[in-house]
Structure 1
Amino acid sequence: MRPQRVAIVTHSTAPRGGFVHALSLAEELHRQGADVRLVALGDPAAGLFRPTTVPHTILPGPSKIGTTLGERVFAAIDTLAGGLAGMAGGFDVVHAQDCIAARAAVRVRDAGTPVTVVRTVHHVDDFTTQALVDCQRQAVLEPDVVLVVSEQWRRIVRDEYGRRAEVVHNGVDPDRLPAPADGARAGLRDGIGAEGRFVFLGVGGVEPRKGSVHAFHALARLRREGVDAMLAVVGGHSFQDYAAYRAAALAELPGLGLTLGRDVVLAGTVTEEQLACWYHSADALCFPSVKEGWGLAVLEAMAAGLPVIASDLPVFGEYLEDGVSALLPPVADDVALARAMRSLVHDAALRERLVTG
């Protein structure tokens, strides 16, 4: 009996958590001998953000992207479904990593291709347009099998969607985050003007789900107390448009007594090698998310030996213990977040305990 042929499908090749997860999953399945192929929308000429040995197909993105989020989502579904339709006969299982991929895979299945559609729900976006709300709901209801990455999201999928889901926790390969070459750490810190200052690292860009404004407000409290700390933020490439939130958050900085480029540094999208260097060069991760499916950045930071401040979201409580493996101040509590940040700045022994705990 031949092994099942599996497609790992995602809507983008952008080096964010979702695609990094999809690529890593495909690579591990391939390493174990599975017949697997990664399929994603992107630029075939540009390829992937890093080399890989896993078989993969990059389908050209929509020719007409549209201006609204809804137009972009539905154009991506149409394009991905069209690409999958031409190759889905070569797969027994199509494993969708997001709502766009799930809707595209279901469309191919419903057109008569005998495939089993598996959907991993990493999190559910807070869409406000009814068409997108409905689209996302169908992306949970229509697949044959639903997986989630945490117990919290198993409960959410059960209570809000009426679907039974199996939990498959996320993981991180520490070999992806090696210590940088000699001098790289000092060079990176010098490049952002750290000059001996305590560097908090933010991962995921400036966006609502990451609680960016709370990090800014907490950092401002430290600055008013004379604590010489800064925040470096990496990432920010997203299918959704957070430009308004980002602009409003950054516009607050002067009134908070913070200077963009000095107290808050935006490094933008980085390569995986550069991300590893950031994890090894910062002094602590500041990750005050208000919503997460799992929080890959937390695991990545821990794998690199970086102490972590997150928030007391239920999902973090599934693998972190407050005061033992991380500091978990209440969600959206700027005062408590500042207190946790202050503790890490002043207490080297605490930083060490969090890393080894």
Structure 2
Amino acid sequence: MSGLRIAILTHSTNPRGGVAHSLALAEALCRLGHEAVVHAPDPAGRGFFRDAACPTVPVAAKAVNGGTVELVRSRINDYLRHFATPAACDFDVFHAHDGIGGNALATLKHRRLVPGFARTVHHVDSFSDPVLADWQDRSIREAARLLCVSRTWAEWIRADLGVEADVVGNGVDLSVYRCAPSETDTAVRDRWGLGPGPVILSVGGFEERKNTAGIVAAFARLRQRHPQAQLVVAGGASLLDHASYRARCHAALAAAGLAVGPGLAVIETGPVPQADMPALYRLAHLLAFPSWTEGFGLCVLEAMACGTPALVSNRPPFTEYLTATEALFVDPADPDDLAEAMASALRPATRARLRAAGLKRAADHSWRTCAERHLEAYAACARVRQEPIHA
């Protein structure tokens, strides 16, 4: 296939899983001879959270003071302004990774500025607000081709829409995420006041979908056995408002007598620079990731590539690509089960087994393979002006 010009649209320039996926996919597509350009609304004007080996376009975006609906509407409109001319739409393929980009491309398709678009469904949220729910639904149903990072969501699309979605998977960059220590490790340890541990790492901030409350409850139990244990809650940049859930988690921490701050029992980092994440994985004794809902769980592969064992929910999508010899499976609703798994991961024999198996599993996931799985869908989108999907 000759080189394609591909516009990839994601929702943010911040370090979220879908954004990291979009950048890594575009880099792999460029190495395959295509021109993949990642776009994202950028209200702060700081650009993407990391430098990328692919073209990027931080889209001019307006500041928003309202709630989530107003924010999402504004971000859709930011994209519509950016792609308002045929010159801005000079791409062979348009590929949205979320509802914001998907809705913008659906509108642009009706305005005949783009022929159609592919849509990756990382996961589907349960929105109580009907406007957000309608936008999410439209961004999927209006797509010409659907892609998923896991079989779980491809089966959901088949059951809900009656159509097939290609499973493209995920990847991990082993040149970035590796188990060999670096000078960054010491700087990261000092910055956050990490002691001898054990250190439990949670990625995604205080977010209900990530089951942070369950992690907090389990960690409080672990501290009874390991008084020096620390919980690091990393990340948290999100378009959705998680303030009330975060407050509930902080109340639970206070009730358990767990102080929050650098060098204390619980460390809330906020968004972490890309250059620091491998060090943070290596410094952790365990990645705790018992999510309720997940598209794939990219940080699991990243942790494994750094030699860090992972604790995950005993449900898809984790059960699709991991076995009980590679990760610790837990009931996400059972804090005692989570606490016992945390303690188990600290035992030398268990830790050694999980480390070896995790390194091997991470090595099986390359971004090149992920990128190649996109090409048939891209070719179809580039060849014909597709009709939208109908249930």
TM range (shorter): over 0.9
- Partners of 1:193 and 1:56 lie apart in 2 by 35
Question: What is the identity, as a one-letter code, of the residue corresponding to 2:221?
Answer: R
User: Alignment partner of 2:313: what SS?
Assistant: coil
Q: Which residue of structure 2 lines up, in the alignment, with residue 305 of structure 1?
A: 307
1:320 partner amino acid: L
Report the Cα distance in structure 2 between the residues aligned to 1:46 and 1:187, rounded to whole angstroms. 24
Can you list the C-alpha shifts for 1:153-186, whole angstroms capped at 9, x where unaligned? 1111222333321111111111122457655434
> Letter of the aligned partner of 2:273 in structure 1?
T
Query: 2:96 touches 2:102 (CA, 8 Å); kept in 1?
Result: yes
Tell me which residue corresponds to 1:286.
288
CA deviation after TM superposition for structure 1 residue 108, in Å: 0.8
SS in 1 for 2:328: coil
Q: 1:29-178 residue pairs with structure 2 within 5 A?
A: 29-43=29-43, 45-63=45-63, 65-86=64-85, 87-178=87-178
Q: 1:95 to 1:337 in 2, by over 3 A?
A: same
3-state SS of paired residue (2:268): strand
Which has the bigger relative contact order, CA under 8 A and spacing at least 6?
2
CA distance in 1: counterparts of 2:323 and 2:182, whole angstroms: 33
Q: 1:102 to 1:182 in 2, by over 3 A?
A: closer
> 1:110 is matched by which residue type in structure 2?
H
Q: Distance in 2 between matches of 1:354 and 1:179?
A: 13
Task: State how far apart, in whole Å, the 1-side matches of 2:80 and 2:331 are.
Answer: 41
Change in CA separation of 1:130 and 1:276 when aligned onto 2, cut-off 3 Å: same
Q: TM-score, normalised by structure 1?
A: 0.94
**Partner residue of 2:387?**
none
Q: Is 1:328 aligned to residue 329 of structure 2?
A: yes
Q: Quick one: distance in 2 between partners of 1:133 and 1:286? A: 29
* Corresponding residue for residue 344 of structure 2: 343
Residue 305 of structure 2 aligns with an amino acid whose one-letter code is A
Runs of 4+ off more than 6 Å:
none
Query: Paired residue for 2:16?
Result: 16
Distance 1:226 1:48, change over 3 A: closer
Amino acid of the structure 1 residue aligned with 2:74: A
Per mean C-alpha deviation after superposition, the further-off stretch among 78-87 and 184-193 is 184-193
Moved more, 213-222 or 87-96: 87-96
Amino acid at match of 2:83: L
The two structures, once aligned, show a CA RMSD in angstroms of 1.9
The one-character-per-residue Cα deviations of 1:40-91 (angstroms, maximum 9, x if unpaired) are 211584222222231222211125x241111111111111122123245311
* 1:227 CA drift (Å): 4.9
Equivalent pairs counted in the alignment come to 354
2:301 corresponds to which letter in structure 1? L
Q: Distance between the aligned counterparts of 1:221 and 1:255, measured in 2?
A: 13
CA 1:182 to 1:170, structure 2 compared with 1: closer, same or farther past 3 Å? Answer: closer
- Aligned partner of 1:234 in structure 2 is 234
How far off its partner does 1:194 sit? Answer: 3.4
Which residue of the partner structure matches residue 211 of structure 2? 211
How far residue 2 of structure 1 moved from its aligned partner, in angstroms, is 5.6
1:125 and 1:146 map into 2 onto residues whose CA distance is 17
TM-aligned CA deviation for residue 150 of structure 1: 0.7
Following TM superposition, by how much is the alpha carbon of 1:187 offset from its aligned partner in structure 2, in angstroms? 4.2
Partners of 2:302 and 2:113 lie apart in 1 by: 38
d(CA) in 1 for partners of 2:191, 2:302: 23
Aligned residue identity for 1:343? S
Identify the residue that residue 251 of structure 2 maps to in structure 1: 251
Comparing 235-244 and 15-24, the one that deviates more: 15-24
Unaligned runs of 5+ in 2: 358-391
> How many Å separate the matches in 1 of 2:202 and 2:58?
30
**Aligned letter for 2:78?**
T
Q: What's the secondary structure of 2:300's corresponding residue?
A: helix
TM-score, normalization by structure 2: 0.86
**Secondary structure, in 3 states, of the residue corresponding to 1:194?**
coil
Cα gap change, 1:202 to 1:5, in 2 (>3 Å) = same
Distance 1:294 1:2 in 2: 30
SS in 2 for 1:57: strand
Superposed displacement of residue 248, structure 1:
1.2
Q: How far does residue 39 in structure 1 lie from its aligned partner after superposition?
A: 1.6
Structure 1 residue aligned with 2:279, among 277, 280, 291? 277
What's the counterpart of residue 373 of structure 2? none
Q: Deviations over 1:209-254 (max 9, x none)?
A: 1110111100111223455322111101001010110011111112
Shift of 1:125: 1.8
1:3–1:34 Cα contact (<8 Å) kept: yes
Unaligned runs of 5+ in 1: none
Alignment CA distance shift 1:182-1:90 (3 Å)? closer
> 1:176 aligns to what SS in structure 2?
coil
What's the CA shift for 1:94?
0.3
The residue type equivalent to 1:350 in the other structure is T
Q: Is the 8 A contact 2:45 2:60 kept in 1?
A: no
State the shift of 1:106 in Å: 1.4
